[in-house]
Every structure is written in C-alpha cells, then in structure tokens.
Amino acid sequence: MPAQTSSARGVSLQGRAATGRYAYRAKATRPQAPDHAERAKLAQALGIHRQVLSHATAAIRTLTAARNELMAQAIEDGLTIATVSAVTGENMKSVRTIALAYDDLHPSGLPRSTQVAALKQKSGELRTAERHRDQITERRGALMVIALRNQVCDDLELASLTGLTPDHIRRATRGIARPA
C-alpha cells in the first residue's frame, strides 16, 4: 500500500518523506534535558546568593550613612576637608558635598584623634563590606556561567532567579561559549 500523504502540506502520515523515501532519524542528537536535581541545586544557590547580596547591600547603605554622618560631624568640629578626605579615601568634592548635606549638626566637642579614629574604623568597615559584596557578585556570575554552559537555565530563568534583568544577564555572560 503506498504511503498516504497530505496534499496540502506534503507531509507523510506513515513516517515516510513526501518524496517517498524513508528518513532515518535515530542518530539525530537531541539536546540533553537538564537534570532536575542540578537545576534545583543551582536555583537554591542563586536564591541564597540573592539574599546574601541583599543583606550585604543593606549593610553597605547603613555603613555609608554612618560614615557620612561622622564625616559631616568632623567637618563641623573643625577638621579640614583635606584631612577627612585623606582619612576616608573619598575625594574632596564628595567630602564637601556630604558635609553640606548635614546642616543641622552642632559641635560635639570630641578631640580630633577620636574623630579620626572613628572615621578610619568606619571607612575600613565600609571597604570590607564592599569587598564582601564584590565576592558575592563574582560567585553569582560564576553560577550564571555554569547554568548557561550546562544548559540548566536560559537567560529568562536566570533573570528570575537572580533578580537581574534579562539584558543584564546577556551583557554579563557575553562571550561565554554556550552549547548549541
């Protein structure tokens, strides 16, 4: 019995090609489905990194506000902008802007050495928190690369897991060799 074909689409109904020849497809490679356990493990790791990054960012905001208040108080108490700039590592324009933002401060009467020590300590804590945030961001980037290389997640899934936009994911993983 000849193969029945649909004349409208030229499609075989019995597994034969429209030209009458059989198309053998057993050797066609199919992309491996991502392992469900691997995807769950990666999703959990990205979720943890998202939460830890959120905490680190909140800590940086808190430390920045405290350091800025110390800077403004030191300027109000008579320390020069150059001294505060040298102690904190901020440029003089930023120090001046921060000092002008706090207009309701009164002289505290603390000695210069105490203010300088407090500024050094708070600036050191802030730099440590920023390094910690950078490490978390690097680890998150490494997890994104692993997910894309192993085809565990696509850009949209990674965006939802990390809280980033799909465009940011594409830019961050540009140049990463992805299996076809």
pLDDT in tens, 78-87: 999 999 999 9
pLDDT band at 175 (very low <50, low <70, confident <90, very high): confident
The amino acid at 36: H
Q: Could you tell me if residue 103 is inside a domain?
A: yes
What are the two backbone dihedrals, phi and then psi, of residue 150, each rounded to the nearest 5 degrees? -90, 5
pLDDT band at 180 (very low <50, low <70, confident <90, very high): low
Asked if the model's pLDDT at residue 63 lies above 70, the reply is yes
Q: How far is CA 9 from CA 12, 15, 125, in A?
A: 9, 14, 70
Q: Could you tell me if residue 33 is inside a domain?
A: no
Q: Could you tell me if residue 14 is inside a domain?
A: no
Q: Tell me which residue of 112, 115, 130 sits closest to 69, measured CA to CA.
A: 115
Domain count, the chain: 1
Instruction: Return the structure tokens found at 55.
Output: 């905490």
Query: What average pLDDT does range 114-134 have in this prediction?
Result: 96
Q: Could you tell me if residue 34 is inside a domain?
A: no
Query: What average pLDDT does range 30-56 have in this prediction?
Result: 82
Asked if the model's pLDDT at residue 75 lies above 90, the reply is yes
d(CA 172, CA 180): 19
Q: Could you tell me if residue 122 is inside a domain?
A: yes
Asked if the model's pLDDT at residue 42 lies above 80, the reply is yes
d(CA 2, CA 161): 53
Q: Could you tell me if residue 3 is inside a domain?
A: no
Query: What average pLDDT does range 15-30 have in this prediction?
Result: 59
- What residues make up the domain containing 135? 45-172
Q: Could you tell me if residue 73 is inside a domain?
A: yes
Q: How far is CA 66 from CA 58, 61, 69, 127, in A?
A: 13, 9, 5, 13
DSSP for 70-112, written as a single string: HHHHHHHTT--HHHHHHHH---HHHHHHHHHH--S-------H
State the pLDDT at residue 10: 47
